[in-house]
Structure 1
Amino acid sequence: MRLLLPLALAIGLLLPTTALHAAAPPAPRSLNGELQGAPWRLDVPTRWNGELVMLAHGYEPVGVPRATPMAAADSTQALLDAGYAVAQSAYSSQGWAVADAVADMERLRQHTLAELKQVRRTWMLGFSMGGAVTVASLEQHPQAYDGGISLCGANLPGEALAEDLLTTLVAFDYFFPKADGLPAGGLVSREAAALPQMALYQGIAAALATRPAAAAQLATRLQVAPDALAGVISLHALVLHELAQRAAGMPAGNLGTVYSGFGDDAAFNAGVQRLQASAAGQAYVRERLALSGTLLKPLVIQFNHDDPTIVPRMQAVYPQQAARAGSAAKLRVLPLAGEGHCGFSGAQVLDALKAAAAR
């Protein structure tokens, strides 16, 4: 034992100090602040893998109170536990803020890269409206990302979205004209835009209950379960009127639209309200909310089972665009997962991210 002790001490003197006293891993970090009116946060885990996820949240109605500092999205912890740093913006405006959000996320990305000096790969991941932010960011800033993931995303160009929303409102007004509790001018009127959201929902729900057969016809055409129909219609009214306010004019019209799938299509087309889009409204959605389908980096898209908000007709739009643009090889649509709107588990979010990394 007396012979072994000096030998052990001698060996210890030859070993680097890190072998005797392993360096403690860096502590997790959480930073927050504001960039040009957009609150943001950055979370870095203890064992950071060198990769950054820019996380884009979904639609936030105008006027909803915001937490200070910005609260983390539900999926943040799962990403941190897997080793990713996560940066997210609350956006500089509320509502259908896709154009603002794209600029806010790009500004935050550049700010984050100044904070994190050794980012190996950067991903864009968005939910719902944030899915549209993700797709638009990949199209507009392909050099900034290694790929993107749109989950339960509203991956529609602004013009297509506005036309879809308008269809919902004029169809409701056709089947339920002058409904009690709703403006005589219908859901497309300025009076409807001024109604509180709960009053709008209650008026729609009450009207649907008066004509179950018409409500069922409308639900089938809109690809929505009957029990979710009132909520979907009120949401479409909220978003379309918010878009019209943002664009300073109605962003869609239907003067030349020939509708189908509403039962007696001849009667529907003869009786449905016709509106003309404003030049300013159309210009806004065509220019500020444009999607081309052109992809230079991999994009993964995934939707949920029985999503009343992003229904099958909406889900098909961007894959068709990408195919027309010759970008089908850059796009992968994963099988449906989870239930409802954005009903993804943390594990499913990570699986979608890994699918993008494998492209």
Structure 2
Amino acid sequence: MRSSRFWLSGVVAAVLLAGCASTSSPPDLSTPIAERAAVLGATDLSSAPGPDGGVILNGKLDGRPFVLATPNAWNRGAVFFAQGYSTPGATPVVPEDPIAKDPGGGSLAHIYGQGYAVAISAYDKAGVATESGVANTIRLRDFVNRLGANRDYILGGSMGGGVVVAAIETHPQAFDGAVSMCGVTQGWTPLIGQLTELRAAYNLLTEGTPYALPGEHDVTRSGLPTVPPAGDSTDGEAYRNAQKMKVIAPILMLFGVAKTNPEGPEARIVRQLASIIDAEADPAVIGAPIYSAVLGMDDIKQVMGGIPAGNRGKVYAPSGMSEAEAADFNRRIQRFDADPAAIAYARRWHEATGRFSTPLVTVHQTLDSLVPYSQSEAFGRIVAEAGNSANLVQYQVPGTKFPLPGGLEGYTHCGFSPAQNIAAFEALRAWVEQGRRPGPEAVQ
């Protein structure tokens, strides 16, 4: 069915406002949700039928797009999904229908089917956006509460998992429960340090080879642009995907040759790269951080006021290098310094303190191509040191792989099954609504 749009006349709006004069009064749930949303200040509203008689409402709050899927038999609970990282230069959007096109890997359709509303806000920008992710999600939460919600959960993955932690630490009364999947839960500083160091090592180890990265090699700058140049009519998303492939292609070529000759120089480089970040010698584990750094460093510096991590004085011991080779590597690898302004920003948005009162479930794959499992481990230690382990339940699940060009395969990022995504929410739901702390087998 074609979407219908709502333009409220001054007379109708005045009547509805009179019925909602006190924001503390219970909302009139018999009024169509789009009309109530307009009265409460939402703009650019359009609605469409949702599954089983529900409503999918799209609109804007303070100019930021949002989507709200409300089931017909709404239990007045709401789940707010914090979106993950998108390549700098992209336009912040929300899925027009978060049930049909479920960014929660099956969890949002399940949640909707259990009677909960599902809500997503766009962020102010692409790239690193924890700060606006929290602000815009809180704005949407307040709005949906005025529409009638009386129980609120927050759920997110990857950068969105970091938004979840930042939200419950900075707004302790906002949510009844939270789930972070594959999240940047420890904080940005170690992650940015890892991907920058890996890029520096890759540049040095592939110098003068066919496997060198394209574009700018200074690791304190982006290597390739993410926005088409003036006069280029290429679709922006297609352009960014092409730029990503330019970065990934030489990495895949390196791994492809290494696979055919496990004792050759390419295989040696692969092992050395993996040892730099103490990770699996896997094309996605190496490739994902590198393309994120190559395409995202300018955004990181703009948002944070610099780089929050540095490698000045760090001594590397790449796998298989002689003492002389390691000394030469340490002499020649690019050194970079942490910026005080960036350290302060990363601490605020967001380095975990471990201090929150909201029940939180985290799930992380033991092998993840972009956000390492060490983020989950470190977060657990931080929470324990804060004396707050009673509010945290953590799960680890095995990594999963996906096919790559050239007969390769690599570990996924946030590659959970729908059953795992659903189990995480159901574990939280039972904890909050029935007082049953999740057991060790709740998510497998």
TM over 0.5: yes
RMSD: 2.8
Report the Cα distance in structure 1 between the residues aligned to 2:399 and 2:207, rounded to whole angstroms.
37
Task: Please tell me the residue identity of whatever aligns with 1:61.
Answer: T
TM-score by length of 1: 0.82
1: CA distance between counterparts of 2:399 and 2:426? Answer: 17
Give the structure 1 partner of residue 77 of structure 2: 51
Report the CA distance between 1:91 and its aligned residue.
1.2
Match of 1:214 in 2: 269
Q: After alignment, is 51-60 or 246-255 more displaced?
A: 246-255
Which has more helix, going by share of residues? 1
Residue 86 of structure 1: CA displacement? 0.9
Equivalent AA in structure 2 for residue 350 of structure 1: I
Q: Decide which of 310, 323, 334 is 1:273's aligned counterpart.
A: 334
The change in CA–CA distance for 1:37 and 1:213 in structure 2 (over 3 A counts) is farther
Report the CA distance between 1:257 and its aligned residue: 2.8
Separation in 1, partners of 2:79, 2:365: 21
Runs of 5+ unmatched residues, structure 2: 1-51, 227-242, 258-264, 401-411, 432-436, 438-444
Q: Which has the larger radius of gyration?
A: 1
Q: 1:269 aligns to what SS in structure 2?
A: helix
* Preserved contact between residue 79 and residue 155 of structure 2 (Cα < 8 Å): yes
Contact 1:56–1:126 at 8 Å: present in 2 too? yes
* 1:212-267 residue CA offsets vs partner (Å, 9 max, x unmatched): 21112323553234232334421243344421232343332211334456444853
1:110 match: secondary structure: helix
Question: Separation in 2 of the partners of 1:184 and 1:29?
Answer: 47
Of the candidates 87, 112, 119, which is equivalent to residue 61 of structure 1? Answer: 87
**Paired residue for 2:139, among 101, 107, 119?**
107
Change (3 A) 1:326 1:178: farther
Q: What per-residue deviation string (whole Å, max 9, x for no partner) do you get for residues 159-179 of structure 1? A: 222222222122222322355
2:354 corresponding residue in structure 1: 293
Shift of the 218–337 alpha-carbon distance from structure 1 to 2, 3 Å rule, reads closer
Q: From 299, 310, 322, give the equivalent of 1:253.
A: 310
Deviates more, 1:268-277 or 1:35-44: 268-277
| Paired amino acid for 2:294 | A
Q: CA deviation at 1:193?
A: 4.4
Amino acid at match of 1:186: H
Shift of residue 341, structure 1, vs aligned partner:
2.3
Determine if the alignment matches structure 1 residue 198 to structure 2 residue 245.
Answer: yes
Aligned to 1:348: 420
**107, 118, 121: which one pairs with 1:89?**
121
Q: Alpha carbons of 1:67 and 1:286: their partners in 2 closer, same or farther (altered >3 Å)?
A: closer
Give runs of aligned pairs for residues 20-169 of structure 1, distance below 5 A: 27-64=53-90, 70-72=96-98, 73-75=102-104, 76-116=108-148, 118-119=149-150, 121-169=151-199
Deviations 1:76-124 (A, max 9, x none): 21211122111111212111211110111011111111112x52x2111
Give yes or no for contact 1:247–1:284 (8 Å, CA) kept in 2: yes
The residue matched to 1:303 in structure 2 has which SS? strand
Number of the residue aligned with 1:20: none
Which amino acid letter does the alignment assign opposite residue 88 of structure 2?
V
% identical equivalent positions: 33
Which shifted more, 166-175 or 201-210?
A: 201-210
Q: Which of 278, 283, 288 is the equivalent residue of 1:227?
A: 283
Q: Structure 1 stretch 157-166 or stretch 319-328: which is displaced more?
A: 157-166
Judge conservation of contact 2:58–2:67 (CA < 8 Å) in 1.
yes
Deviation at 1:31, TM superposition (A): 1.5
**Offset, 1:66:** 6.0
Scaled by the length of structure 2, what TM-score is found? 0.67
- Specify every segment of 5 or more residues in structure 1 that has no aligned partner in the other structure, as ranges: 1-25
Of 138-147 and 74-83, more deviation after overlay is shown by 74-83
Q: Given the superposition, is the C-alpha separation of residues 184 and 356 from structure 1 closer, same or farther in structure 2, using an over 3 Å criterion?
A: closer
Compare 164-173 and 38-47 and name the one that shifted more.
164-173
Amino acid at match of 2:424: A
CA drift at 1:65: 5.2
Are the counterparts in 1 of residues 91 and 126 from structure 2 also a CA contact under 8 Å? no
